[in-house]
Chain A
Amino acid sequence: MYDLSCAGVTKKFGPFTAVSDVSLNIPSGSFFSILGPSGCGKTTLMRMIAGFETPSSGDIRIKGESVLSIPPNRRNVKMVFQNLALFPMMSVGENIAYGLRCRGDVRSEIAGKVARVLDRVSMPGVEDKQIDQLSGGQKQRIAIARCMVLEPDVLLLDEPLGALDLKLREHMKIELKQLQHRFATTFLYITHDQSEALVMSDQVAVMNAGRFEQIGTPKELYRGPVSGFVAGFVGDATCLPGTITDIRGQQARVALDSGGQVIGCLCDESGTGDAVEVFLRPEAMQICSGNDDTTLRGRVDSLLFNGANSRVLMRMGSGQIIEVAETAQADPLTEGAQIAVSWRPEQARIFARRAE
C-alpha cells in the first residue's frame, strides 16, 4: 500500500512538455525527495499532486484512490510553500486553526489541537504571536505545524529551506528529518540541493527535463548512478570528456579530449567511438601513482581545507582541474608540487556524453 503513487503522469503546456511520463510509488511514512535542477518540472509535478494543475495524462493516487477529480481543497495532501505562505493578517494560532475551521472541527477542540501541534514542533505557547514576530526557522516550523495539524496523508514541501541562510538551513535539514519521524507522515520533498536530498531522504528521485532519471536510496544514487546526469548532479565528481577506443567486458578505454588514455567501468550502452564522459568521485582517488591507465598527473593547484572534507585541486597539463579528497598524508602537500592520482578501474564511471 502506497501513500502516494503516480502512474505515467504527463503535463504539457502548449507544445512544451513540463513533466513527461513520471511514475513513482511512495511507501507509507517515508521521506521521499525529488531532486533536480530548476526548470526540470519538479514543482509542476508537486502542483499536480496538490491539485493546482491537472495532468495531461496519467493518474495520481493517494492511499490507492485516484484524486484527479478531487479539487485541491478536498485532497488530504498539504503543502509547505517555497515562501511558506503564512497568512500575515492572522496570528500564529489563527494560521494553524484555519485548516481546522475549514474542515468544520468543533470549536471547543480547536484550541487544544493547536496547542498540541505547537508542542510537537517545539514551539509551545506562541498562539498569540504575529507572523512577523517569528524568526525564519520558527516560521518554517509554523508552516509545517499548520499542515500537520490536519493529519495529511502526504506532506508536500516545495524547497522550503531555500530562503534560509546557510547555517539555519543545515540545522533545519536535521530538524525536518526529526519532525518527519515524530509525525510518522509521508513527506514528499522537492529540492535542487543534492545535499538536502541526500541527508534527509529515504528515497530520492533524480529528475531532469521532465523525466525521472533514477529512483533509489541516497546511497544507491551516489554509488551506482545510472546516467551521466545523475553521476554529475548527485555528489561531487570530476568529469573528463573523451571518446571510447576499446571495450573489454565491463571495462572501456577512453581517449580523453585533453590528451591521454584512461580505463574505467562502462555504465551504459555506449560503444566504441562514442563520445563519453568519465566521472571520478574525489574520495575514490588516491594521491599516488598506480597503473598507467588509471593514473593522471599534474600539479597541486590549491589546497582547500574543510576539516574532514578537505580537497586537493590538481591541475593537469591540459588545464583541467581534478578534485581529490585529501587523506592523511605522511608528507604534507604544497601548492605547485608534482603529484599523481590513481583509482581502481571500477570506480571511474563512463557514461554517454550529456547534451550541452
Chain B
Amino acid sequence: MGRDAGRLSLILLFTPFALWIGLLIVLPQLGIGYVSLREKVGVNQYEFGFGNYADFFGEPIYRNTLLRTAWMSILVTILALIIGFPIAYYIAKLARARIRAALFLMCLIPLWVSDLVRAYGWIVLLRETGVVSTVLVGAGLITEPVEMLYNDVTVVIGLVYTVILFMIVPLVSTLQGMDDALLEAGYNLGGSRFTVFRRIVVPYAMPGIVAGCIITFMLAAGSYLTPILLGGKNSSWFTEQIYNQFITRYNWEAGATFGVLLLVFTSLVVWVGLRLTGQSLVTTVARKD
C-alpha cells in the first residue's frame, strides 16, 4: 500500500516534468532535426539528405555569422565573469549579513522588467538624441550629437548587462559556502593575496564559475532581442539568421538547419570549456561535500 502510494506520487510529480521536456523540448528538437534533413527539390517534393548543411558550409556569410556570434558570446561571458566575480565576492564574503540579502535582491530586481524594456532603456540612453549624447554636448565635451547605438561595443555592453545576473547568482551561492577559515589558513601558511585568490578562492569557486559561464554563454548566443535592438541591421547575430530563414524567407529547411547547428556549436563550445577547466557537468551542478 505504502509503496503503491509512493509510486503514484512519483508518477504524479514526474508527469508534468516529462510532458514539459517531451512536448516542449525533445519533440520540437526532433522535428527541427527532421526538417533540417529535408531537401526541397520541387513544389512539395522533398528528398532526404545533408544538402541544407552543405549549403550552410558553402556560404561564408552563414559560417562567419555563427563564428562571430560565438566569439562575441565568449567575450560577453568573460566580461560578465570579470565584472560579476568581484560583485559576487563582495555580496558573499565582505558584505554584512543584513546588507547581503538587500544587495542580492537588488541584483534580482532588473529581472522583473522584460528584456524588451531593458533594451529600450539602453536605446534611450545611447541613441543620437539620447541622454548620454545630449549631456556630453551640453557639457561641451563634444560638439555635435553622436550615435552610440548599432555597433558591436553596444551589443556587447547590452548583452553583458542582460546576462550578468546569471553569472552572479551561481557565484554567490558557491562563494557563500566557502569557510573564511580557508582564506585565513591561506594567509597564515604564507600566501599573498594573489596566491590565496589563485590557489584557494578560484579553485573553490570553480563549479560556480563554470555554471555561470555556461548559463551566460548559452543565453548570450541564443539571445535575439538585445543584439537586434542595440545592434540594428548590421548586428549579424546568428539567431537573426534563423529568424530570417523561418519568417522572412519562409525557408524552414534552412532555418531548422541553422537551429540545429547553433545547438551543436554552442554545446561544443561548452564541452571544450569544460575540458579546458577540468570540470564536468556533474561537479558543476552538485557539489559533493
A-facing residues in B174-211 (Cβ within 8 Å): 179, 181-182, 184-192, 195, 199-200, 203-204, 206
Query: Which of B184, B203, B289 is A85 in contact with, Cβ under 8 Å?
Result: B184
Closest Cβ of chain B: how far from A101's Cβ, in Å?
Answer: 8
Q: List chain B residues, Cβ under 8 A from A98.
A: 186, 189, 191, 199
CB–CB B182/A87 < 8 A: yes
Q: List chain A residues, Cβ under 8 A from B206.
A: 89
Q: List chain B residues, Cβ under 8 A from A77.
A: 188
CB–CB B190/A85 < 8 A: no
A146 to B192, CA, bound (A): 17
Residue ID in chain B nearest A102 by CB atoms: B190
Q: How many chain B residues touch A (Cβ–Cβ < 8 Å)?
A: 19
Query: Which of B187, B199, B289 is A72 in contact with, Cβ under 8 Å?
Result: B187
CB–CB A73/B182 < 8 A: no
CB–CB B195/A78 < 8 A: no
CB–CB A81/B189 < 8 A: no
Q: List chain B residues, Cβ under 8 A from A79.
A: 184-185, 188
CB–CB A85/B185 < 8 A: yes
A72 to B187, CA, bound (A): 6
Number of A-B contacts (CB under 8 A): 66
Q: List chain B residues, Cβ under 8 A from A52.
A: 184, 187
CB–CB A87/B187 < 8 A: no
CB–CB B181/A81 < 8 A: yes
Closest Cβ of chain B: how far from A67's Cβ, in Å?
Answer: 13
Q: List chain B residues, Cβ under 8 A from A230.
A: none
CB–CB A73/B192 < 8 A: yes
Closest Cβ of chain A: how far from B213's Cβ, in Å?
Answer: 18
Query: Which of A71, A83, A87, A88 is B289 in contact with, Cβ under 8 Å?
Result: A88
Closest Cβ of chain B: how far from A76's Cβ, in Å?
Answer: 9
Q: List chain A residues, Cβ under 8 A from B189.
A: 73, 78, 98-99, 102, 146-147, 150
Closest Cβ of chain B: how far from A174's Cβ, in Å?
Answer: 25
A71 to B189, CA, bound (A): 12
Q: List chain B residues, Cβ under 8 A from A82.
A: 181
Q: List chain A residues, Cβ under 8 A from B179.
A: 83, 85
Q: Check A103 for interface membership: any CB of B closer than 8 A.
A: yes
Query: Which of B188, B190, B200 is A87 in contact with, Cβ under 8 Å?
Result: B200
Query: Which of A81, A87, A89, A103 is B184 in contact with, Cβ under 8 Å?
Result: A81
CB–CB B191/A73 < 8 A: yes
Other CB < 8 Å A-B pairs besides A51-B188, A78-B189, A150-B189, 11 of them? Answer: A71-B187, A73-B191, A82-B181, A87-B185, A87-B186, A87-B200, A90-B199, A98-B189, A102-B189, A102-B195, A147-B189
Sorted nearest first, the 8 A-B pairs with minimum C-beta distance are A99-B189, A102-B190, A85-B181, A85-B185, A89-B203, A73-B187, A81-B181, A102-B191
